[in-house]
Amino acid sequence: MNLLVTGAAGFIGSHFVRLVRRVRPDWTVHVLDALTYSGNGTTMADFLADGGVMFHHGRIEDHTKVTEIVQGNQIHQIVNFAAESHNDRSLVSGSSFLVSNAMGVENLLNVVRENQLQRFVQVSTDEVYGTIAEGQFTEETPIAPNTPYSASKAAGDLQCRAHFKAYKTPVVLTRGGNTFGPFQYPEKLIPFFATRLIQGKHVPLYGDGSQIREWIHAEDHAAGVLHVLENGLVGEAYNIGDVNERTNLEILEVLLEETGRGQELVINIEDPRKGAHDARYSMATDKLQALGWKPEKEFIPSLRSTIQWYRENRDWWEPIVQDPQYQAFVKQYYGKYLGDLL
Ligand code: DAU
């Protein structure tokens, strides 16, 4: 099988390629990545060195580029991890989110149809459902996104639905929960806080920290996507989550413990996401579990080992946090809250 994985220089995509190389060594894997700010060549160093993975530099919105890769390498299936993914950045400007997450998906769907590929897996998010005070999102929950990021992901989901209805394009959707693990760009809660605390810097907790997220390790998330690629029914969506509902305060406690830092480094800031801040995510995953997938990782030990990974892999994240573009965003977004503590 010749598989094209888009967005594999990013966080979950890179875990997916590593998993595929391990458990499906006879597959040929092609990677397409634009190497935008959060995509990192060093993240792919191990699997690009193994000879079974071919790298292509480019954007998923580029019809000519994607068509050339598909036709030139007899690609059978595509899994799309490429996305702009950070809610806070989308609240500063949402345009690039629509380009990647809506137009990019539309382009991939067209290439899949024009070349009669066997399958297209679109990796989406539980955030398309919005927020839920009680109970759980199922795949039947109407979508009601609350940020420019989640709205752009929902647009991609709807394009998938429309292409399936209109052309019977063989598309399957996954909707994953909050994902953590090694190689996550240090802008999301866990790697942002871990890297700042390791450096002895202050961390900005939004509001009172009572928001609840459902956490899943990147390796479990990647295994869920592979399971959907191989077993999912076309035209269907599958939630990929674990039962780990935790408040941000609970996550913070483990971060402080593992980095040996104290509460004095925590600043409770006015919530920068304001009305767009979802209070709680929780997903039912029975549909995918009925196909034989289940998460394997225990939450607290794997959260601790993730923080330890950041302690031991400064050479991966230090160049990122020292990059002027990274620092410019941190200053722009958090400057008014943290002032001299930036
Ligand atoms: O649920 C899946 C989604 O999870 C993915 O689709 C998104 O791509 C991913 O970014 C994540 O979205 P969140 O907005 O939930 O993740 P984030 O790590 O940005 O924030 C998690 C929680 O932590 C949220 O309640 C906001 C809070 N937070 C975050 C940051 C960056 C803070 O209190 N302080 C911070 O500095």
Query: Which residue owns the Cα nearest ligand 1 atom 6?
Result: 125
Please tell me the distance between residue 118's alpha carbon and the centre of ligand 1 in angstroms: 34
Catalytic positions are 126-127, 149
> What domains can be seen in the chain, in order of their start residue?
2-180+215-240 (3.40.50.720)
For residue 186, the model assigns a pLDDT of 98
Mean pLDDT of all residues in 117-136: 98
**Ligand 1 center to 294 CA (angstroms):** 23
Among 90, 173, 213, which residue has the most ligand 1 atoms within 8 Å of its CB, making it the best to mutate?
Answer: 213
Instruction: With a cut of 90, say whether residue 40 has pLDDT above it.
Output: no
Residues with CB under 6 A from ligand 1: 85-88, 125-127, 177-178, 188-189, 192, 204-206, 211, 213, 248, 281
Mean pLDDT score across all residues of the chain: 97
Which residues make beta-bridge pairs with 191?
A: none
Of 271, 265, 251, the closest CA to residue 337 belongs to 271
Nearest CA to ligand 1 atom 28: 189
Q: How far is the CA of 324 from the centre of ligand 1 (A)?
A: 22
Q: Pick the residue whose CA is nearest to atom 36 on ligand 1.
A: 204
Structure tokens at 18: 């590593």
pLDDT in tens, 96-115: 999 999 999 999 999 999 99
C-beta of residue 313 within 8 angstroms of C-beta of residue 320 = no
pLDDT value for 50: 86
What is the mean predicted confidence (pLDDT) over 237-247? 96
pLDDT of amino acid 243: 87
Average pLDDT, integer, range 254-278: 97
* Amino acid in the structure at residue 340: D
Query: CA-to-CA distance for 256 and 249, rounded, in angstroms?
Result: 10
pLDDT tens digits, residue range 57-82?
Answer: 999 999 999 999 999 999 999 999 99
Q: What percent of the chain has pLDDT over 90?
A: 98
Cβ atoms of 77 and 121 closer than 8 Å:
yes
For residue 302, the CA-to-ligand 1 centroid distance in Å is 18
The model's pTM: 0.98
What is the whole-number distance in angstroms between the Cα of residue 248 and the centre of ligand 1? 9
Point out the ligand 1 atom lying closest to the alpha carbon of residue 124: 6
Chain segment 178-229, per-residue pLDDT in tens: 999 999 999 999 999 999 999 999 999 999 999 999 999 999 999 999 999 9
Q: Report how far apart, in Å, the C-alpha atoms of 120 and of each of 129, 137, 230 are.
A: 22, 23, 11
pLDDT at 265 over 90: yes
Helix axes 299-312, 248-259, angle to 10 degrees: 50
